[in-house]
Amino acid sequence: MPRLKLTIAYVGTQYHGWQTQARKNASPLPTIQNIIEDAVAHVLGERVHVHGAGRTDAGVHAEAQVAHLDVPESRARMDWQLALNTLLPRDIRIADAVLVPDTFHAQHSAVRKTYEYRLWLSKRYTPPQLFPFVWACGPVDVERMDEGSRYLLGKRDFASLKNAGTDLRTTVRTILSITRTPEGQLPEDCLELTWRFEADGFLKQMVRNTMGLLVAVGRGKLEPADIPGILDACDRRIAPLTAPACGLTMKKVWYDDMFPLAASGHEGA
């Protein structure tokens, strides 16, 4: 069957994360995956599993989550973007829909991922339009955070920054870069700070735990040089608390050139 790759943007505030969650004797909790599968079922007349690149948590947002599904040949070249966006709620949008080879897998074919985390550096107030998208952590020392971030780069065991919930063969990952905007010394009136994390993969809530760790350093609760010892312990209990979900956005999922994209066409739904 033809395989369709979806690029999906969503505001995660009202949802229980990406992955469908069944409840005994009750309807499934509203999740991004479940809502999209409902829309696909409306188009096809049957339910089809939609495989996501990553299981974003409840309240986490995405600008470019990636998913794939297999569709009948007769529906492969319809305008899936238009068809699904007509059915989906306004806080879930299909940014792109293209045909790909059947060897493509949204999760397993990914070679790296990029997330951003937004901090609001005041506890006195948060602009209402930003409230669902930032952690109002208050003032932080970004130079200390910069120093701490350097200890996180490279291939390491990040078990201390993984929350329970997913069985994995290894907790070793490679963080390729950690950057922030604005760069350098912050202007005196700067209240918004965005951290970007790029890695070959992330453990469960690893970005939120990493952000919580760096904020603890920025608040002076930990020294930057404490980070290697925290990682070496491979013990989640000694690391700081998880940062709130609201500040996190999945920005991009990267794939090799071995999966060239084909046009999906624009036939009617």
Active-site residue set: 57
- How do strand 135-136 and strand 110-120 relate by DSSP bridges? parallel
User: What local confidence, expressed as pLDDT, does residue 25 receive?
Assistant: 62
pLDDT tens figures, 84-102? 999 999 999 999 999 999 9
Q: What is the SS3 assignment for 113?
A: strand
Residues 118 and 246 in one domain: yes
Residues 136 and 45 in one domain: no
What is the arithmetic mean of pLDDT over 52-81? 96
Does residue 258 sit within a domain?
Answer: no
* Number of domains comprising the chain: 2
pLDDT tens figures, 18-33? 998 776 666 667 999 9
* pTM summary value: 0.92
CB 57 within 8 A of CB 205: yes
Residues 116 and 243 in one domain: yes
What is the arithmetic mean of pLDDT over 177-181? 98
CB 252 within 8 A of CB 114: yes
Residues 164 and 228 in one domain: yes
CB 174 within 8 A of CB 183: no
Q: Which domain holds residue 151?
A: 112-251
CA dist 219 and 217 (Å) reads 5
Residues 124 and 236 in one domain: yes
| 255 carries a ligand binding annotation | no
Q: Is a pLDDT exceeding 70 seen at residue 258?
A: no
Boundary-marking domain end, from 63, 87, 108: 108
Residues 96 and 155 in one domain: no
